[in-house]
C-alpha cells in the first residue's frame, strides 16, 4: 500500500478514527496492529525478516541492561561483558541488511556461474525499509550500551518502534529514546495539531504528486534515450532530477510527519531546505538529517575518539608536523563515513564513487580551509555580500546536480555517454527551439512544473527567513485561509500525476 | 589545570575564542570538526582516553566543562 493511493487514505482515516475513539490505553496497540497490517500489504514474506531484527535487538538490549545492573558499581566490568553482546547483535543486524542489499546480485552471480537455473526459484527476499529499521535498531542498542537509553521490556513495544508504519519504509531513522515514549503515551485529540498535520500532508502530496512525479516523466524520458539526446536536454534532466528527488523524499517526509502530527506524535526532521546550503558540509547537515546524525553518532565519533586513530594522528604530527596530524583526524573518520554512506544508498561501485565524491569535497574544504581563505582574500571577495552567498548556494546545488550524474544514468557506460554529450554535443539551441516540450511533458505541463517549483521556492524562502507559513495561514482571515486549502487540495487533484501506466508506489527512497 | 587546558585549546584552534561563551557547542562556536581537534589535542596532551559517554554538550560548552572532564579522566 503506497502513501499516494486511495486505499491508504481510507486506511489512514480508519486508523485515526480508531486511535481516538478507542480507550487511550490501547492507542499503541491500534498503531501496532495498523503497522503490521500496512507492512503485510507488501507481502507476508518480508515480515519474518523485520521480526528477526526486532527479536535480536530485544534480547540483546535486555542482556546489555542485565549486565549493567549486575555490574553497576564496576563500569569497566559491565562494559567488558556488554561489548560482545552489542557487537554480536550489531553483526547479526548488519548481516540481515547486507543479505537484503547484495543477496540478489550474489544469487544471480551464483546462478550464472553454476548454470543452476533452479536457484532462481528461490528469490532473495528484500524486506522493505530494512536500511531504515536496521539503523534505528542499531542506534537503540548502542544507546543502551552508552547508558543513554533504557531497554524495552515488552517485545511488542519494541516491535511498534521498529514497524511504526508512517516511517518504516522511508524513515526518518528515528531514535528509540525520541519516538518510543511518544508511541506509548496516551494522546488526546487536538484540533490544531490535526489541522497542521493535515496541511503538512497536503504540502507533501503537492511536492510528491504535482512536482516530483511530473519531473520524473521528463527525467525518465531523457535518461531512457541518452544516445538520442543533446547535452542541453541532459542538463535540464539532471537539474530536474535533483529537484525531483528532493520533492519526492521531502514530500514523503511531510506526509508521514503530518500524519504522525495528527496522531499527536512528532517525528524527527529529515530536511531543512538543503538547497539554501552554502557548502557541501552544510548541505549534508540539512539533507537526510537523521542519516547524517546517525553516521555522526555511531561511526564518526567512535572513530574520532578511538585511541588508535588519535595515536596515528600523533605519529603523523610528530613526523610531518601539526597540520598533517590534524588532517588525519579529518580524513580517516570522514572517509569511513562517506564510504558507508555510499554503500547505504546502493552497493554498486557508482555509489561508492558517489560517497567518496562527497567525502572528498568535504575533506578538501576542511583540510585546505586556510588556502581557500587566502585565495578568497587575494581575490578581494567580500564573503559577507548577498551575491557571494547566492553564488555559494548555486555552487552547492550544482555539486549536487553533478552527483546526480553519478547515479541517475544507471551504469558507468551511461555516465560516460552523458558526460560526453554534456561536453561535446551540448547544442544550446535545445533550450529554446521547443524540443524540450517533446520529452514527456508538453508545453503546459513543462511550464506548470516550473510554476510549481517557483511556489516551492517562494515558500522555502519564507521559511528560510523564519516565517512559519502554516502559522501565517492559520492566523489569516477565513476567506484567505480556506482559499489556500482549496487551492492546495485541487492543485493535487487536478495537477497531480496519476492515471494508467503511472506507478504511484515508487517513492525513490523506498528502495533503500 | 584550567590554564593548561586553555593553552592547549588555543594552540590547537587559534581561530576559536574559547572564552567568548559558556555555550560553545550550542552557539555553534565549536562544530564537529573543532570538536575532533579538541578531543585529539586533549588526548595527546594529557594521555587520557575520552569515552563516548563524555562527549556531551555540558563537557564541551565551556573551558570549565572541559577542565572538569580532563580532571575527572586524569584523576587529578
Mean pLDDT of A390-418: 92
Among residues A270, A268, A307, A265, the alpha carbon closest in space to that of A287 is found at A270
Domain positions in chain B: 2-74
pLDDT digits (tens, 9 = 90+) for A174-200: 999 999 999 999 999 999 899 899 999
* pLDDT for residue A500: 45
Per-residue pLDDT band for B1 (boundaries 50, 70, 90) equals: confident
C-alpha grid cell, residue B10: 588555543
Mean pLDDT of A487-494: 81
Alpha carbon of A73: minimum distance to chain B alpha carbons (Å): 16
pLDDT digits (tens, 9 = 90+) for A34-62: 999 999 999 889 999 999 999 999 999 99
Mean residue pLDDT of chain A comes to: 91
Q: Cβ B52–A146 below 8 Å, yes or no?
A: yes
| Domain covering B2-74, topology | 1.10.1200
Q: How far apart are CA A497 and CA A213, in angstroms?
A: 6
For residues A38 and A407, the model is more confident at A38
3-state SS track over A236-279:
HHHHHHHHHHHHHHHHHHHHHHHHHHHCCCCCCCCCCCHHHCCC
ipTM given for this complex: 0.82
Cis previous bond, A205, omega within 30:
no
Q: Cβ A296–B32 below 8 Å, yes or no?
A: yes
Rounded (10°) CA dihedral A108, A114, A118, A120: 0
For residues A105 and A101, the model is more confident at A101
- Cα→Cα distances A495→A215, A452, B28, Å: 12, 10, 42
Q: Which of A294, A326, A368 is best to mutate for the B interface (most B CBs within 10 A)? A: A326
* pLDDT for residue A508: 63
Per-residue pLDDT band for A106 (boundaries 50, 70, 90) equals: confident
pLDDT digits (tens, 9 = 90+) for A415-460: 999 999 999 988 999 899 889 999 989 999 999 999 999 999 999 9
Q: Which residues contact B75 (CB under 8 A, 6 or more apart)?
A: none
For residues B54 and A510, the model is more confident at B54
3-state SS track over A44-94:
HHHHHHHHHHHHHHHHHHHHHHHHHHHCCCCHHHHHHHHHHHHHHHHHHHH
Mean pLDDT of A1-25: 92
Alpha helices, DSSP H, located in A174-321: 176-184, 191-205, 213-223, 231-262, 280-286, 289-295, 301-304, 307-320
Q: Which residues of A206-229 are buried (b: 16+ CB within 10 A; e: fewer)?
A: bbbbbbbbbbbbbbbbbbeebeeb
Question: What's the distance, CA B61 to chain centroid?
Answer: 8
Mean pLDDT of A168-173: 91
A-B contacts (CB, under 8 Å): 40
Q: Cβ B33–A366 below 8 Å, yes or no?
A: yes
Amino acid at each position: 500500500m503506497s502513501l499516494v493511493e486511495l486505499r491508504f487514505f481510507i486506511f489512514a482515516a480508519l486508523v485515526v478514527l480508531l486511535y481516538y475513539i478507542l480507550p487511550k490505553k490501547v492507542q499503541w496497540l491500534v498503531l501496532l496492529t495498523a503497522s503490521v497490517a500496512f507492512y503485510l500489504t507488501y507481502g507476508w514474506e518480508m515480515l519474518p525478516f523485520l521480526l528477526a531484527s526486532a527479536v535480536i535487538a530485544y534480547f540483546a538490549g535486555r542482556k546489555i541492561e542485565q549486565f549493567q545492573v549486575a555490574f553497576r558499581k564496576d563500569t569497566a566490568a559491565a562494559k567488558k561483558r556488554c561489548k560482545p553482546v552489542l557487537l554480536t547483535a550489531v553483526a547479526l543486524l548488519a548481516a540481515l541488511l547486507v543479505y537484503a542489499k547484495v543477496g540478489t546480485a550474489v544469487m544471480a552471480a551464483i546462478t550464472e556461474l553454476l548454470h543452476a537455473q533452479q536457484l532462481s526459484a528461490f528469490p532473495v527476499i528484500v524486506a522493505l525499509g530494512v536500511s531504515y529499521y536496521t539503523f534505528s535498531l542499531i542506534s537503540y542498542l548502542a544507546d543502551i550500551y552508552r547508558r543513554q537509553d533504557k531497554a524495552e521490556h515488552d517485545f511488542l513495544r519494541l516491535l511498534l518502534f521498529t514497524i511504526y508504519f508512517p516511517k518504516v519504509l522511508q524513515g526518518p531513522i528515528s531514535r528509540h529514546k525520541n519516538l518510543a515514549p511518544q508511541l506509548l503515551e496516551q494522546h488526546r485529540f487536538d484540533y490544531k495539531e490535526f489541522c497542521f498535520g493535515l496541511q503538512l500532508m497536503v504540502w507533501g502530496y503537492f511536492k510528491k504528486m504535482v512536482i516530483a512525479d511530473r519531473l520524473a516523466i521528463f527525467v525518465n524520458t531523457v535518461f531512457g534515450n541518452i544516445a538520442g539526446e543533446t547535452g542541453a536536454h541532459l542538463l535540464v534532466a539532471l537539474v530536474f532530477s535533483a529537484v525531483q528527488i528532493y520533492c519526492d523524499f521531502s514530500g514523503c517526509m511531510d506526509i508521514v510527519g503530518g500524519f504522525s502530527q495528527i496522531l499527536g506524535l512528532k517525528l524527527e526532521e529529515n530536511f531543512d531546505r538543503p538547497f539554501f546550503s552554502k557548502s557541501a558540509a552544510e548541505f549534508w547537515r540539512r539533507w537526510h538529517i537523521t542519516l547524517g546524525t546517525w553516521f555522526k553518532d555511531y561511526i564518526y565519533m567512535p572513530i574520532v575518539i578511538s585511541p588508535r586513530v588519535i595515536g596515528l594522528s600523533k605519529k603523523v604530527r610528530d613526523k610531518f608536523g601539526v597540520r598533517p596530524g590534524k588532517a588525519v583526524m579529518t580524513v580517516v573518520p570522514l572517509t569511513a563515513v562517506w564510504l558507508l554512506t555510499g554503500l547505504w544508498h546502493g552497493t554498486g561501485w557508482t555509489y561508492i564513487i558517489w560517497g567518496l565524491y562527497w567525502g572528498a569535497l568535504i575533506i578538501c574544504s576542511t583540510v585546505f580551509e586556510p588556502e581557500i581563505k587566502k585565495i578568497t582574500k587575494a581575490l578581494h571577495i567580500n564573503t559577507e555580500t548577498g551575491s557571494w552567498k547566492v553564488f555559494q548556494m548555486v555552487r552547492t546545488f550544482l555539486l549536487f546536480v553533478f552527483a546526480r550524474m553519478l547515479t541517475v544514468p544507471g551504469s558507468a557506460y551511461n555516465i560516460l555517454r552523458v558526460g560526453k554529450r554534456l561536453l561535446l554535443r551540448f547544442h544550446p539551441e535545445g533550450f529554446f527551439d521547443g524540443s524540450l516540450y517533446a520529452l514527456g511533458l508538453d508545453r503546459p505541463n513543462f511550464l506548470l512544473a516550473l510554476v510549481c517549483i517557483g511556489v516551492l521556492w517562494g515558500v522555502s524562502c519564507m521559511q528560510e527567513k523564519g516565517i512559519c507559513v502554516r502559522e501565517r495561514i492559520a492566523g489569516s482571515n477565513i476567506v484567505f485561509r480556506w482559499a489556500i486549502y482549496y487551492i492546495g487540495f485541487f492543485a493535487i487533484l487536478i495537477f497531480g500525476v496519476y492515471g494508467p501506466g503511472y506507478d504511484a508506489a515508487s517513492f525513490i527512497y523506498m528502495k533503500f | 589545570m584550567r590554564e593548561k587546558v586553555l593553552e592547549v585549546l588555543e594552540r590547537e584552534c587559534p581561530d576559536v575564542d574559547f572564552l567568548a561563551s559558556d555555550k560553545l557547542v550550542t552557539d555553534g562556536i565549536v562544530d564537529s570538526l573543532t570538536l575532533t581537534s579538541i578531543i585529539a589535542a586533549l588526548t595527546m596532551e594529557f594521555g587520557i582516553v575520552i569515552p563516548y559517554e563524555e562527549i556531551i554538550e555540558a563537557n564541551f560548552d565551556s573551558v570549565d566543562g572541559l577542565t572538569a572532564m580532563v580532571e575527572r579522566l586524569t584523576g587529578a
